[in-house]
Amino acid sequence: MTDSRVPRRRRFLVCEPRHFAVQYAINPWMHPDTTVDVDLAREQWQGLIRAYRDHGHTVDAVDPVPGLPDMVFAANSAVVVDGRVFGSYFHAPERRPESDHYETWFKAAGYDVHRSESVCEGEGDLVWTGRYLLAGTGFRTTRDAHREVQEFFGHPVVSLTLVDPYFYHLDTALFVLDDHNIVYYPEAFSPGSREVLARLYPDAVLATREDAMVFGLNSVSDGRHVFIAPRAEVLAARLADHGYDPVPVDLSEFHKAGGGIKCCTQEIRS
């Protein structure tokens, strides 16, 4: 069955974890007294970059900036659809300066950037499905931002309410497999949002809380290969049963800040 899945080459934007640390607490995973092994974090991050390139994907990098330890989580910087960039306005004041540096990179690469007027955390809460944007709210990105995103891109936006603080961003509770299907952890969402997802994706792959808590939903798929946390073993097996090819990549050092594979990966859709 795996041979029926067709990978699509992707272009990713990342940021080296040169200054990665846990210096403040803005989600339940973060504790300022946590010690980060920066060398291990860099080694794990380099492993992710190798995995992407080994599977035919293009990887660009923005330079890290001292004093911005979460800048490594490139997914939060923007959402890019059809070559148009909707930039972020972070909920936490500690992260707001990141937007300027990512905007500078996008402009240097030839993109115009629209800066959100409302709190909006990029691909952390905005997931492009190929037809519309699934949009998370409840902890970070606001519904006002959902409306702004729809006006900017001209694509429908489906608002989904997150209810579990451990899954504070949509990309910790859901990811897109291909143009037709998704994976998600139902209990991360409000009852109404679960009904919406069940109607839109009746054949979705469902994850357990155990796999969600080891960042199994913070994954990246190219349509065949799914770059996934190694400890999400049950979910990886389910994906294999559905014809996908799990590619384990250990980013456990980044879990200390509430991030994983997808958090470190911004997709540029030209």
Catalytic residue positions, numbered: 169, 263
26: DSSP letter: S
3-state class of 85 per DSSP? strand
Neighbours of 90 (CB within 10 A): 23
Answer yes or no: are the C-beta atoms of 263 and 171 closer than 8 Å. Answer: yes
How far, in Å, CA of 105 to CA of 113, rounded? Answer: 10
Picking from 76, 152, 77, 83, the residue whose alpha carbon sits closest to that of residue 114 is 152
User: How far is Cα of residue 61 from the mean position of the Cα atoms in its chain?
Assistant: 16
Picking from 182, 179, 171, 258, the residue whose alpha carbon sits closest to that of residue 218 is 171
Judged on CB neighbours under 10 Å (0-12, 13-18, 19+), 215 is buried
Answer yes or no: are the C-beta atoms of 78 and 266 closer than 8 Å. Answer: yes
Query: What tokens appear for 247 in the block?
Result: 């590619």
How far, in Å, CA of 79 to CA of 127, rounded? Answer: 8
